Amino acid sequence: MLKIQNISVKISNSIILKNIDMYIKRGMITCIMGKNGMGKTTLLETIIGHHKPYLGYINYNGEHF
């Protein structure tokens, strides 16, 4: 299970993501959609650890990171 709660990400003092919540159960198929420049790639890069959120948290299978 992946739980994202209140994630906000800043890059070069610009807020790129603000207050994102997401809950994905194991085996669930999820689609992230939006216009160009809306933060889809930044969200995925934050989930894998490329960007560090300045607010909120990511929890994967009970492990907080």
Domain ranges of the chain: 2-64
Which strands form 14-24's sheet, in the order they lie side by side?
14-24, 2-11, 55-60, 63-64
Dump pLDDT digits (tens) for 43-53: 999 999 999 99
Does position 1 have pLDDT exceeding 90, yes or no? yes
Span 33-50, average pLDDT: 95
User: Token digits for 40?
Assistant: 């889809």
Does position 65 have pLDDT exceeding 90, yes or no? no
Three-state DSSP state, 32: coil
